[in-house]
Amino acid sequence: QVTLRESGPALVKPTQTLTLTCTFSGFSLSTSGMCVSWIRQPPGKALEWLALIDWDDDKYYSTSLKTRLTISKDTSKNQVVLTMTNMDPVDTATYYCARIISWGSYFDYWGQGTLVTVSS
Amino acid sequence: QSALTQPRSVSGSPGQSVTISCTGTSSDVGGYNYVSWYQQHPGKAPKLMIYDVSKRPSGVPDRFSGSKSGNTASLTISGLQAEDEADYYCCSYAGSYVFGTGTKVTVL
């Protein structure tokens, strides 16, 4: 049974760095082709793809946010970590992690999401 | 990468069919057969409904179908049911990933 769960702070201040952790089970990120991705959704708005890391530790980022994002994995802990620097109120959103079975394919399992509010 | 364009809302009565369009470019929707569709109920995580343009994951009712023509993909819900009322998002691989603007489906 595949599950993913996001964790991290519910509130961050402007200019701070956000660190989110995706803890997953039911699959291994060392399996050839496997990927974990981050997607966010501001309140009442559309989904936005952020970043992806694959089984081979290749990393891909949204062009518009690339300078602020870092994605990493700890295969032994079944975790993927996303950091986003210089947070702004416009970054207030629910952040989801999701599994992809091969780069280019679809998001088949999602976490429940974690709401991050950016406010002083 | 610009978001894919979807109608803001569509509606239909129970039993009717509705179709949601998802318009991109030759660099995303038109360039790859990697279009997927997600259903999202309020306060819930998105759920995969269609992948690779027209394939249905196990457990998704066959009243959901997908297609593509040129730079536009479509999701059709046949025999609309009350539980189909939700937001729907398309997504395309484009060297990275790009989502649609989202469509609210209302069952009248």
DSSP B4-57: BB--SEEEE-TT--EEEEEE--TTTTTT-S-EEEEEE-TTS--EEEEBTTTB--
Mean pLDDT score, A20-35: 96
Mean pLDDT score, B18-22: 98
Q: How confident is the model at residue B22 (pLDDT cuts 50, 70, 90)?
A: very high
Q: How confident is the model at residue B42 (pLDDT cuts 50, 70, 90)?
A: very high
Quote the pLDDT of residue B103.
98
Q: Which residues of A touch B44 (CB under 8 A)?
A: 112
Is B96 within 8 Å of A113 when comparing Cβ atoms? Answer: no
Residue type, position A12, single letter: V
The answer to whether the beta carbons of residues B95 and B2 sit under 8 Å apart is no
Is B34 within 8 Å of A106 when comparing Cβ atoms? Answer: yes
Q: CA A117 to CA A119: how far, in whole Å?
A: 6
* B1 has a pLDDT exceeding 80: no
- What token pair was written down for B103? 């469509």
Cross-chain CB nearest to A105 (options B34, B44, B47): B34
Q: What pLDDT, in 10s, does the model give residues B54-99?
A: 999 999 999 999 999 999 999 999 999 999 999 999 999 988 999 9
Q: How many CB atoms lie within 10 A of CB B37?
A: 29
* A97 has a pLDDT exceeding 90: yes
Is B91 within 8 Å of A60 when comparing Cβ atoms? Answer: no
The answer to whether the beta carbons of residues B6 and B102 sit under 8 Å apart is yes
Quote the pLDDT of residue B65.
98
Quote the pLDDT of residue A103.
83
Q: Is A49 on the interface with B (CB under 8 A)?
A: yes
Cross-chain CB nearest to A110 (options B45, B97, B101): B45
Chain A with chain B: Cβ pairs closer than 8 A: 59
SS3 at position A14:
coil
Q: What pLDDT, in 10s, does the model give residues A34-93?
A: 999 999 999 999 999 999 999 999 999 999 999 999 999 999 999 999 999 999 999 999
Mean pLDDT score, A19-42: 96
